[in-house]
Amino acid sequence: MSDPTKSVPINSSEITPKDLYLSRRDFLKAMGIVTAGSLLAACAPKKPIQAANSTPAGLTVSQATDELGNALNSYDQITHYNNFYEFSTGKEEVATLSRDFKTSPWQVEVTGLVNKPAIFGLDDLTRLFPQEERIYRLRCVEAWSMVIPWQGFSLASLLKIVEPTSDAKYVRFETLLDTQQMPGANSPFYPWPYQEGLRLDEAYNDLVILATGLYGEALPPQDGAPIRLVVPWKYGFKSIKTIVKIELTADQPATLWSAIAPNEYGFYANVNPQVDHPRWSQSTERRIGELSRRETLMFNGYAGQVADLYTGMDLAANY
Looking at 124-167, which runs of residues are DSSP E strands?
A: 132-139, 144-154
Q: What is the pLDDT, as a whole number, of residue 52? A: 41
pLDDT digits (tens, 9 = 90+) for 139-191: 999 999 999 999 999 999 999 999 999 999 999 999 999 999 999 999 999 99
> What is the rounded average pLDDT of the residues 218-246?
98
Domains of the chain: 4-310 (3.90.420.10)
pLDDT digits (tens, 9 = 90+) for 109-128: 999 999 999 999 999 998 99
Residues 52, 71 contacting (CB under 8 angstroms):
yes
Counting other chains too, the contacts that 7-10 makes at CB distance below 8 Å and 24 or more residues apart are 7/105, 7/106, 7/107, 7/121, 8/105, 8/121, 9/104, 9/105, 10/104, 10/105, 10/106, 10/121, 10/122, 10/123
- Give backbone dihedrals phi and psi of 267, rounded to 5 degrees, phi first: -65, -40
**Whole-structure pTM value:** 0.83
> What is the rounded average pLDDT of the residues 281-302?
97
Average pLDDT, the chain: 85
| pLDDT higher than 60, residue 40 | no
